[in-house]
């Protein structure tokens, strides 16, 4: 769950679940995945966004900037509102001396709210002192100005907790976070007390990623994995497990192993009003489901969704929303049909955490390209058009970035922690926090 090859920064791929149901009275059991009939890979015979990006970066490394530009442009046609691609096309144009084209793509990045330091990029060394580029550089830096601060409602004593997932219990007001480093789940009460959920640190959990509280059924689901915080781009398959806790007893009452025939990273999970759980998988672009009392099903593989991550669902269960590198998608839970959510001059991608409430989406975009921000996106009545994007007051204590979110009444709560490269280096990070921000001004 680390460096996004598109952005070159730490971006959490986060939390998925492949949820499976078992009776609360059963002991934890392993279950075998079941493939539904319409589980087919989409777009596997055509170049994907990732294919274009990898071709472009290889060409750039070889100094072939024309081929790099053409490949980046091919990717940009697939994801026109991706700031990282706008910046890469602009950089390639600058290397080729195509200054007007370079300016056009930098202007597009500015309209998307993106930020970068042109003076720190040698690609612009020959043009940065031109009057037009100096103005562009200042406007791009202005997009990265500090955000208004979010309200810190809890600061964890354990600096090495490295929480990643967050969930809110609408019945009790409790907030839950999952720990990558401690292999455990913790509860923060409305009074501010933090305590371990049951004996989760002794239950043999893998690293805990995304979590979801099913308040109606008093259950907490969590995606766990092996080496999830490491660069999950190649290598042998790693273990991924779905676990479920009974919130009334604090006991682990379900554990299911995800097939390890391919390298997978389970990332995020949501449970609909009918009790069906839906989960994203990042490496293959897969969507899993578990219907009540059903088996783990590979519902659909989306071959063209790069770094599929956050997931949420409408209140009536009629629409699933997915966040990925390029943007947002709306999926039908009936037949798996998918539609892109469009919004003019809106950077809707690079999504880690994703939440939904009353026709609105909350996106956690933990990328330096968009200033590590949390935004509210207002949808039209069809749920397919983004009509407005509002940056929430999501400024954080120094050294922390936002990871995931949960709706808490008229507010959203977000868990924030240090980047995982500190874990690589064995450095002690700043203490993680939970922050709260209003959904509306």
Mean pLDDT by 10 residues, the chain (441 residues): 34 27 31 35 67 95 97 95 96 95 96 95 90 91 97 96 96 96 96 95 93 96 78 70 92 86 88 91 89 87 89 95 95 96 94 96 95 97 96 96 97 94 83 96 74
d(CA 104, CA 89): 10
Rg (CA), the chain: 21
Whole-number pLDDT of residue 229? 56
With contact defined as beta carbons under 8 Å apart, do 327 and 349 qualify? yes
With contact defined as beta carbons under 8 Å apart, do 214 and 230 qualify? no
**Domains, the chain, ordered by start:** 3-42+150-438 (2.120.10.30), 49-142 (1.25.40.10)
Whole-number pLDDT of residue 233? 55
Cβ-based neighbour number of residue 440 at 10 Å: 9
d(CA 368, CA 384): 27
CA angle 242, 243, 244 (to 5 degrees): 135
With contact defined as beta carbons under 8 Å apart, do 350 and 325 qualify? yes
Q: How many helices (H) and strands (E) does the chain have?
A: 6, 27
Whole-number pLDDT of residue 72? 97
With contact defined as beta carbons under 8 Å apart, do 408 and 168 qualify? yes
d(CA 86, CA 115): 11
Whole-number pLDDT of residue 31? 35
Question: Of 93, 110, 75, 66, nearest to 5 (Cα)?
Answer: 75
With contact defined as beta carbons under 8 Å apart, do 257 and 238 qualify? no
Cβ-based neighbour number of residue 58 at 10 Å: 13
Whole-number pLDDT of residue 6? 33
If 0-12 CB within 10 Å is exposed, 13-18 middle and 19+ buried, where does residue 139 land? middle
Whole-number pLDDT of residue 295? 84
Helix (H, G, I), strand (E, B) or coil at 349: coil
Map tokens 């049909």 to a residue: 337
Question: Of 147, 150, 152, 127, nearest to 137 (Cα)?
Answer: 127
Whole-number pLDDT of residue 389? 97
d(CA 14, CA 268): 6
d(CA 326, CA 75): 10
For the CA atoms of 180, 181, 186, 189, the dihedral, rounded to the nearest 10 degrees, stands at: -100
d(CA 399, CA 219): 33
Residues with Cβ < 8 Å from 20, sequence gap 6 or more?
A: 31, 242, 254, 256, 277, 290, 294, 295, 296
Whole-number pLDDT of residue 85? 96
β-strands 401-408, 411-417 pairing: antiparallel
């Amino acid at each position: 769950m680390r460096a996004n090859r598109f952005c070159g920064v730490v971006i959490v791929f986060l939390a998925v679940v492949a949820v499976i149901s078992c009776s609360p009275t059963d002991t934890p059991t392993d279950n075998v995945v079941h493939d539904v009939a319409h589980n087919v890979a989409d777009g596997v015979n055509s170049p994907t966004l990732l294919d274009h990006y990898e071709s472009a970066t290889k060409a750039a490394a070889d100094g072939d900037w024309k081929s790099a530009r053409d490949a980046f442009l091919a990717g940009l046609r697939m994801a026109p509102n991706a700031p990282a691609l706008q910046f890469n096309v602009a950089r390639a144009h600058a290397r080729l001396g195509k200054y007007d084209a370079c300016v056009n793509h930098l202007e597009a990045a500015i309209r998307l709210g993106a930020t970068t330091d042109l003076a720190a990029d040698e690609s612009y060394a020959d043009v940065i002192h031109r009057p037009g580029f100096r103005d562009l550089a200042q406007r791009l830096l202005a997009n990265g100005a500090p955000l208004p601060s979010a309200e810190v409602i809890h600061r964890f004593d354990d600096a090495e907790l490295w929480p990643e997932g967050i969930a809110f219990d609408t019945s009790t007001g409790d907030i839950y976070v999952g720990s990558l480093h401690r292999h455990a789940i913790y509860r923060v009460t409305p009074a501010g007390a933090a305590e371990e959920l049951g004996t989760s640190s002794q239950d043999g959990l893998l690293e805990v990623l995304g979590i979801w509280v099913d308040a109606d059924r008093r259950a907490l689901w969590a995606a766990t994995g092996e080496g999830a915080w490491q660069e999950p781009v190649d290598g042998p398959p790693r273990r991924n497990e779905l676990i479920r806790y009974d919130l009334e007893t604090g006991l682990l009452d379900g554990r299911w192993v995800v097939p390890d025939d391919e390298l997978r990273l389970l990332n995020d999970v949501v449970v609909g009003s009918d009790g069906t759980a839906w989960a994203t998988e990042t490496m293959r672009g897969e969507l899993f489901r578990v219907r009540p009392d059903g088996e783990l099903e590979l519902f659909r593989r989306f071959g063209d969704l790069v770094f599929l991550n956050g997931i949420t669902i409408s209140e009536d269960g009629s629409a699933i929303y997915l966040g990925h590198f390029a943007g947002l998608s709306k999926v039908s839970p009936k037949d798996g049909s998918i539609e892109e959510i469009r919004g003019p001059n809106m950077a809707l991608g690079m999504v880690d955490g994703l939440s939904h409430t009353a026709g609105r989406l909350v996106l956690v975009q933990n990328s330096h390209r968009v200033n590590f921000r949390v935004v509210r996106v207002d949808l039209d009545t069809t749920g397919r058009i983004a009509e407005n994007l509002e940056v929430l007051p999501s400024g954080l204590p120094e050294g922390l970035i936002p990871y995931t979110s949960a709706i808490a009444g008229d507010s959203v709560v977000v868990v924030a922690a240090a980047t995982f490269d500190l874990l690589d280096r064995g450095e002690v990070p700043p203490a993680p926090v939970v922050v709260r921000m209003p959904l509306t001004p």
